[in-house]
Amino acid sequence: MDEPLFTIPLWADLTAVGLGGVQGALFASGFQGQRRLDLLGVTIIGIVVGMGGGLIRDLLLDTTLATLQSNWYLLTAVAASLIGMLLAGVFHRLNRLIVGLDALVIGLFGAFGTSKALALGLPPVPAVFIGVCAAVGGGILRDIIMGLPVAIMHVGSLYAVAAGAGCVVLAVLHVFGVDLVPSAIAGILVAFVIRLLAVIFDVSLPEQRMLHRRKVAVETAAIPIVKPPR
């Protein structure tokens, strides 16, 4: 009811929710031992990762929560979680798929968050902030609910930086008069490419590299392996 000028098309929004749900379920399925989750737990994580970004975005915008105005979002997230579980059963080496999907999802959620904020008239700096929160918020909720260290604070792969760069590109293009749709596509691409390159070439901030040797234990704790419960 607040956004007459601009609405994210339902298919685009559902695509992001679906990819997020698949990615979340793949991630959650990877745990073994005491951290292993049952079918219900994996589905909860799929829903959290698929829908968390959109919910956080609309809460911060103080607008109607689009994710809850139609049956399709939840149905998509649940179906995506089941697909994620199936894929996890089929493929043995999942890390590449998880990382690729993740790069796409943070790009999509970041772009949707920033463009919706700009369309509602927010200034560019908070619009970028909302995009970053939408991009990384689902993952933060996932880590908190699963009792893992919050990945964004510890994993040295320019995670939040990739999301932020995509949102900044979008906002800057918009300030210079470019339409929201091409700006958003550019932003998604930038976030996706930075995140993938960071993982492929193991790029990280200088200080993070220094820290890396000291805290391998922390980082591996964020990757699906057997860990005792906290």
Interface residues with a copy of itself (CB under 8 A)?
33-34, 36-41, 44, 55, 58-65, 67-71, 73-75, 117, 122-126, 129-130, 140, 144-147, 149-150, 152-154, 156, 160-161, 205, 207-208, 211, 214-215, 217-218, 221, 228-230
Closer of 7 and 96 to a copy of itself (Cβ): 7
Q: How many CB atoms lie within 10 A of CB 30?
A: 18
d(CA 78, CA 92): 22
User: Least Å distance between CB 54 and a copy of itself?
Assistant: 12
User: Least Å distance between CB 35 and a copy of itself?
Assistant: 8
Closer of 44 and 96 to a copy of itself (Cβ): 44
User: Least Å distance between CB 203 and a copy of itself?
Assistant: 13
Closer of 15 and 63 to a copy of itself (Cβ): 63
User: Least Å distance between CB 12 and a copy of itself?
Assistant: 19
